Structure 1
Amino acid sequence: MSESNESSLNINFLKESVLKRLCESLDKANNKGWRKLGEIVKNDKRFKVSLEDMDMCSLKALEADGSPSRTLLKLIGDQGCIQGELMEFLQIMGHTEALQCLKPPGIQILVQPQSVSVIAGHNLRLSCYAVGASPVQFQWFKKTEEVKNVLPEHQGRYRCEICCNNERTWSSEVEVVVIANPCLSQMKEARIFPQISGAMECSEDDFLSINKDYSFEKPYATDKVALLIGNLTYRNHPQLKAPMVDVYDLTNLLRQLNFKVVSLLDLTESEMRNAVEEFLSLLHKGVYGLLYYAGHGYENFGNSFMVPVDAPNPYRSGNCLCVQSILKLMQEKETGLNVFLLDMCRKRNVHDDAMPNVMLKVTANIVFGYATCQDAEAFELSSSGFTNGVFIKFLKERLLEDEKITVLLDRVAEDMGQFDPTKGKQALEIRSSLSERRSLTDPICLGGYSDATEAHNPLWSKAHELPESKILDFECGVRIKMDFAAEFSNVLVIYTSIVKKPEEMQSCQAHITDLPLDLDVDPKLMNKETLEETGSFLLSGSLPQHCLYTRLSSLQKLKEELAFTVCLQVQFGSLDDLVQWNMHVNIGKPLTAKLDLNRPTRKNSCQVTCHMPHSPSTSPSHSPGSDRRFHNQDPCCPQPYANPYLNVCEHLHGAQAGYRDFQLNTDHAYQYMPLSPLMNPPSIPIETTDDIDDMQNEFINSLHLYKHP
């Protein structure tokens, strides 16, 4: 239909989708609402609108689905008002939003590209989706230059030009940062091969109905949210290594797919429950929700349980979080896709006889990726100081592929099946009720948000904002710059550098002291000259050198604002003693400290995430459970004296197996240390598996294998 024909159309014949959006704009109580339109129409001799008519329109606001604007438009439409005349009235009002509802649709950008950091060696995908009255065309630019492929040296700011008929518009400008992959730092050929995606072509009818029921050629999400939890520093159970690196790698990849990622390490039971509650608050209709958990766990009666770091020894379901109960609450949000990636053991917990009564809805949007089969263990890998679980080792090679999620996981399962060290011991299990071709690469189409969602989305963004850089000027003339980096959503790295020093000073150093006791930071790991000395191996190479670094983990435990002292020590040539100046610094609540995950769990919080007949808040006694690796009644050990796990390591002069753990020494090399008598009771015999020699022969150089229950 031509523009002139549309202008002569009686407004009573407007499409319902157009009328609905128009009324939503005019029903708003402001100086450009329906009352203002009524006053303008009343002054026009072509139409008659009395005070009684205005009162009738006003009464419609009292009805549940009533619309004063719709009643007014029907009134003047019955008097012959056409679309061109209504547009004149709206122009007089200066109501551009309402005018846009009536004008022939131009280009509408549905999904803006987003800034991203990409690890060298991985694919990058920048997406821009737009619609128009006729087919739209796209061309990507780096500043003013057209681009077709991107190499590491091409990092910078990008934007997309969209053309439709004679109209042109630009997408938002985004930043692409290429980070050297520590595992590929020795490879000269390491580089990225990004895919710059195009966009949709939609008709005018598609455009007009977008707010009502718009669909892409492929499925889409209204948002993408991921909660990643890695528990490794257990208080009463064997500690793990892989969850830290697994969560870090998965975070970087999911962010490339435009997921809102919350990555958390070492959570207690109450912190895990509160984190899940915050995660659920970000979900609404059509959202893709992904939950990844790495740590100790078990499975009873088809229900999976995640074990917090403060779980007692032994533990039961009341001390843990039930995955199926979380899924039930996600379903109530009408999510478009629920993906659970569980990197934990699935052995039976003989100390827990509870049978959760979780009634799940029959939906076609659930995918479970279990790192191992039922009643089996999961394993960790360690090589050159970087540790991955077997599952993530292969998943991260596939995650960015534009494939249906079940197809992608099938390929990961095939890759794992060819891995000799764990062949016959760990196999990926996939359970799915997915009936559509939904993938993690699906675009985001912004839909309607509830008031709660609109309130929580800014909170999520705020909870991932780093403190601003600080310049500290001391009275002695020294100037110090303080910067911040996020290793995880609850792990902050502070690094300081001296940017100005008077000539009469021989040397000076600035140390951070007096940190809040909530954080429980080891002073021996503060103010180090390298990141590795602080315990941070993942940001190495991405932060500037010649700084002093301090790593603050478990920010979720911070009850007050993060305040500390910067102590400046100066050596003058004319003095033997050091001279000291102190400055107080307050950076507020950084990152997820703003979420107050340390708050007490609500009385019914166990039912919120774990529908158990008993819980810490309702049971008279604490629920016990099991240490998963070192006790002969461990649920992971069906036989009293069976070896509950397998350790394989290959050294320069041969391999050995048995009960071993590893720790990080100050020289940053991994060694294998015997367990303490408390961790390895002498009454438990040490046994090895029958095929250990065969596995050692097939093992890769410097590759170490651990079980991670």
Structure 2
Amino acid sequence: SSCLSSTYAPTSADDLVLALQNSFVRTSELIRWLELVDAIDALLLLKPSEPVAITLHPEPYLQLEAGQESVLRLTCRASSFPPPKYEWYFNGKPLSSQIQAGPVLELFNLTTDHSGTYKCRAWNACGSESFSNDCEVVVTPCRRKLVNKPPTLYATDKVALLISNANYEHDEKLFLTENDVESLAKSLAALNFRILAFKDLGKRDIINAVRTFCHFLQNGTYSLFYYAGHGFKCCGKDYIQSIDCSNECSVEDCVCFQDVIACIKSTPSSFNLIMWDACRDCRETSLDSRTSIVQTDPPHGSLRARRSSVVVFATSPYNSAVEVKGHQNGLFMEHLKRHVGRTVPVHEAIRCTLRDFESHALSDWQIPVVKYDIAGDHSLCDAILDGPGYRGNEILWTFVSTLPPDEEFRVTETGLRLRVTFSCDREVFCNSMLVTASLLPPVPSIHIDLQTLVCDGARAVNLSTAVLRVSSLQTLVSPLRLSVVLRDWESKNVVYLRNLHCGHPLVAAWKLRNSG
């Protein structure tokens, strides 16, 4: 018999099955490999449960003023296995799940009746639970109908577009860009940003993503754009390589980063942080006056660009951006994520990032460049002043953020329940969704087979027989339909069959909205 290396890392469930057929393995190794392929149903049988632990408590005290434009937002985060669920309490009683059942509690149109003690219960399917610290909220009576003198710097909304191009069809695969987007997205979500995170986009997809993003950039909005992937510099401009590009592609196959900057700056947003985390190596290619550079037409007409932006390049012209083997993040994000959530002006957070960069062993190979056209002390932590702009974006937001509802079905004559859950890939991507089927309680003798029935235009890959990743949702052309089949392991007989109608999840609904 053969023995698998301790460094073996399967890339799919099929790889793992083939390897196991010819190997003797320890349970701990099997669990590690199952985690690499996200085989949740198998992990529920093998991996020890982890108790719920609160990792982020809500603020201990908040004082707010009642009014139609006031909003209460509290955040609680927890870790556990199986993954935790959340339930919010007010004065010791659970709030309706229709109000909020996730890690972020949002209450609008506050009155003095909202004063009291709030806390969050985090729990998982194994019965473990933990409560957050209390948050004492005091809502004072409204003393004026209008804010006479709002804070010097505030946002009417905060929106981020994050793009990770990693799995190139004809070029070197990048291993850390998805981690970089995930790290940044979760940091920004804690600051109440709306997150539009995409992975593996083609040229037309990138242009459409920028146009979608710009629809959210209204008067007073804070925007953040971040691209991580392959790129190059040609004739003084930087180019984003789409996922179907090779390293020999021409500028006609790519999206000009300077066009993206111009599109964002042409909106009425009050502050823009625009970041490029890709190589800027010089590319020799033919480019003359007949070449059509991709233009992402601004949705706000001929608005003039204003002094509103900070543009950050992770490396200097004609140099590369570095991925260090064994690191969780690329070199730029490794330093940026330490400062992005600090309550300091953006220029101070960037300055601290550059200072940390200087002490890195590879600092001579990658030198970030920052360009300012704004002098204000805007911070990513600035408060959101609730108003018509925020509420208008809330309507748009439903077209890019809505998942199919989790469902639970009784398996006839068995006493078992089939549970199907939906989540964003890595909890952040709006064009990639994970679907997980599980039995409650788990039954090793019953095999779960989760498959697509209709997935036109999108891509579906089984991470295990009970976990399905549906990606490229931005190109989904018809409602998504799935099936779950339960079979007896020994007889192979079908125990239960359920078809699921999932509609147009996440960003697929935006495409449907625009075509309707």
TM-score by length of 1: 0.52
Q: Which of 510, 513, 521 is residue 460 of structure 2 equivalent to?
A: 521
| Unaligned ranges ≥5, structure 1 | 1-105, 121-140, 146-154, 180-192, 528-547, 601-709
Letter of the aligned partner of 1:367 in structure 2? V
Deviation (angstroms), 1:327: 2.7
Corresponding residue of 1:390: 331
Query: Which residues in structure 2 correspond to 1:346-365 (within 5 Å)?
Result: 346-353=280-287, 361=304, 363-365=306-308
Closer/same/farther in 2, CA of residues 593 and 172 from structure 1, 3 Å limit: farther
Deviation (angstroms), 1:266: 0.2
Closer/same/farther in 2, CA of residues 176 and 289 from structure 1, 3 Å limit: farther
Corresponding residue of 1:588: 503
Q: Which of 443, 449, 460 is residue 511 of structure 1 equivalent to?
A: 449
CA distance in 1 between partners of 2:67 and 2:507 (Å)? 34
Closer/same/farther in 2, CA of residues 517 and 425 from structure 1, 3 Å limit: same
Corresponding residue of 1:372: 315
Offset from partner CA, 1:377-413 (integer Å, 9 cap, x none): 1011343xx6311111111111111111111101001
SS in 1 for 2:497: strand
Larger Cα-atom Rg:
1
Query: Which residues in structure 2 correspond to 1:528-677 (within 5 Å)?
Result: 548-570=466-488, 576=491, 578-579=493-494, 581-596=496-511
Corresponding residue of 1:430: 370
CA distance in 2 between partners of 1:387 and 1:301 (Å)? 33
Corresponding residue of 1:9: none
CA distance in 2 between partners of 1:586 and 1:368 (Å)? 43
Corresponding residue of 2:385: 445
SS in 1 for 2:261: helix
Alignment check: 8 A CA contact 1:223 1:287 kept: yes
Alignment check: 8 A CA contact 1:289 1:335 kept: yes
SS in 1 for 2:324: strand
User: When you count helix as a share of all residues, which structure comes out higher?
Assistant: 1
Offset from partner CA, 1:277-303 (integer Å, 9 cap, x none): 111111111111111100011233543
CA distance in 2 between partners of 1:508 and 1:317 (Å)? 53
Letter of the aligned partner of 1:436 in structure 2? G
Letter of the aligned partner of 2:314 in structure 1? A
Percent identity over the alignment is 22
Alignment check: 8 A CA contact 2:230 2:278 kept: yes
Deviation (angstroms), 1:174: 7.8
Matched positions, count:
413
SS in 2 for 1:228: strand
Letter of the aligned partner of 2:460 in structure 1? V
Offset from partner CA, 1:56-82 (integer Å, 9 cap, x none): xxxxxxxxxxxxxxxxxxxxxxxxxxx
Alignment check: 8 A CA contact 1:328 1:360 kept: no
Closer/same/farther in 2, CA of residues 499 and 431 from structure 1, 3 Å limit: same
Deviation (angstroms), 1:476: 5.1
Closer/same/farther in 2, CA of residues 174 and 156 from structure 1, 3 Å limit: farther
Offset from partner CA, 1:423-444 (integer Å, 9 cap, x none): 2111221111122111111111
TM-score by length of 2: 0.69
Corresponding residue of 2:71: 112
CA distance in 1 between partners of 2:241 and 2:70 (Å)? 38
| Unaligned ranges ≥5, structure 2 | 1-64, 80-87, 93-101, 124-131, 296-301
Alignment check: 8 A CA contact 1:293 1:342 kept: yes
CA distance in 1 between partners of 2:342 and 2:222 (Å)? 17
Alignment check: 8 A CA contact 2:315 2:368 kept: yes
Alignment check: 8 A CA contact 1:236 1:311 kept: yes
Letter of the aligned partner of 1:497 in structure 2? S
Closer/same/farther in 2, CA of residues 305 and 222 from structure 1, 3 Å limit: same
Deviation (angstroms), 1:364: 2.3
Corresponding residue of 2:438: 497
Letter of the aligned partner of 1:586 in structure 2? H
CA distance in 2 between partners of 1:159 and 1:362 (Å)? 34
Q: Does 1:242 align with 2:176?
A: yes
Deviation (angstroms), 1:346: 1.5
Closer/same/farther in 2, CA of residues 382 and 466 from structure 1, 3 Å limit: farther
SS in 2 for 1:298: strand
Alignment check: 8 A CA contact 1:158 1:175 kept: no
CA distance in 1 between partners of 2:139 and 2:497 (Å)? 59
Closer/same/farther in 2, CA of residues 169 and 432 from structure 1, 3 Å limit: farther
Alignment check: 8 A CA contact 1:564 1:584 kept: yes
Letter of the aligned partner of 1:479 in structure 2? R
User: When you count strand as a share of all residues, which structure comes out higher?
Assistant: 2
CA distance in 1 between partners of 2:262 and 2:116 (Å)? 37
Deviation (angstroms), 1:569: 0.4
Closer/same/farther in 2, CA of residues 470 and 498 from structure 1, 3 Å limit: same
Closer/same/farther in 2, CA of residues 517 and 334 from structure 1, 3 Å limit: closer
Closer/same/farther in 2, CA of residues 417 and 282 from structure 1, 3 Å limit: same
Corresponding residue of 1:287: 221
